[in-house]
Amino acid sequence: MFITLYGPDSYRRKEKLNELVSSYKSKYKDIDVMFFDLRENPDSWEEALDFLKQPSMFVEVKLAVVKEVSQVERKPWIDALKKYKESKDVFIIISEEKKPNKKFSFLLKKPAQWQEFEELEREKLRRFLAKKLEEEKDSSLEKVVKNKGQALLSKKLAIIKK
């Protein structure tokens, strides 16, 4: 099964990628996960292929995370990927800066799943950042309360009693 994330908004794309990987790790206790970046290392497509083909004796499912899958347009790579489009035990999450080209159009057809991450326009970007800042503020406040809250309260009460 394929999930393709693509588009120029690398922050939201990476956030979604991390969310998906965490979700798979939570859902499947026995999962084998490997990461491959074909932009940084185009030859790693062969390693990815080996990972996908290896039979798993001790894991329930495999998850391959492949960045810039369309950097390698070799027929063996493309043909091998196509074999996994309906797999129930091999999941491939793909992250691309651009929409996959014609040779990889199967990544944007059912049963595959995909999501585009366009750059946010001014107002949408403002709302997104406001939401993120609010989440960060809540998270930071919770950390202070959890770690230092009682100590701060005790100090304040001691000062008031004086």
Are 60 and 127 members of one domain?
A: no
Are 106 and 124 members of one domain?
A: no
Are 52 and 90 members of one domain?
A: yes
- Using only C-alpha atoms, the chain has a radius of gyration, in whole angstroms, of 22
Provide the residue range defining the domain that includes 133.
120-162
Tens digit of pLDDT at every position of the chain (162 positions): 999 999 999 999 999 999 999 999 999 988 999 999 999 999 999 999 999 998 877 888 999 999 999 999 999 999 999 999 999 999 999 999 999 999 999 999 999 999 999 998 889 888 878 887 777 766 666 666 676 666 655 665 566 665
Are 161 and 100 members of one domain?
A: no
Name the domain count of the chain. 2
- Integer CA distances (angstroms), 41 to 34, 36, 44, 67, 71, in order: 14, 8, 6, 10, 10
Strand-pair partners of 91: 63
Are 109 and 127 members of one domain?
A: no
Strand-pair partners of 33: 63
Angle between helices 45-53 and 75-82 (to 10 degrees): 30
Q: What pTM, to 2 d.p., does this model score?
A: 0.78
Are 107 and 125 members of one domain?
A: no
Are 30 and 107 members of one domain?
A: yes
Are 96 and 85 members of one domain?
A: yes
Are 94 and 134 members of one domain?
A: no
Q: Is 41 helix (H, G, I), strand (E, B) or coil?
A: coil
Are 62 and 107 members of one domain?
A: yes
Are 153 and 101 members of one domain?
A: no
